[in-house]
Amino acid sequence: MFRHALEAIYNISPRRISAKLDFLKKILGCSESEVCTAVGKFPSILALSEDNLRTEVGFSMKNRLMPWNYVLKVLKTKGLVKKDIEFYGVANMSEKRFTMRFVEHYSVTIPRLEGAYAAACAGQVPPEI
């Protein structure tokens, strides 16, 4: 991991690293400590251009994280998952694991959950459940 961090910052000036961290804070809406944690886990993120970061974050937010957040809100509202479940931990799951654990598992209890999740993943406004 240390080698990857060195490779990521080798050709980047300290001023540019600072600017990239500020950009990440702005686009992700995270605190400095959260951004530093993310960079610590994925140092190669510093090597990406701002356009690539914007594209990747936009895709991830729209097609993955927003639908997942919607599902968790529904499950919390229905009292099926703990209110204090950390989204950060959920966001690190694979698509398959999330779907099995939160969508398929609760589809019997909430029959329209799978359809609402599919709509959210397609960029549509999911129906009220």
pTM for this predicted structure: 0.59
pLDDT, position 101: 96
pLDDT, position 100: 96
- E strand or H helix that includes residue 107: none
pLDDT, position 8: 63
pLDDT, position 79: 94
Residue with the bigger pLDDT between 98 and 31: it is: 98
The pLDDT of residue 121 is above 70: yes
What residues does each domain of the chain span? 2-47, 56-121
Per-residue exposure over 4-42, b if at least 16 CB sit within 10 Å of its own CB, e if not: eeeebbeeeeeeeeeebbeebeebeeeeeeebeebbeee
Q: ∠ at Cα 102 (99, 108), nearest 5°?
A: 100
pLDDT, position 82: 87
Q: Model confidence at 20, in pLDDT bands (50, 70, 90)?
A: confident
The predicted model gives 108-122 an average pLDDT of 93
pLDDT, position 5: 61
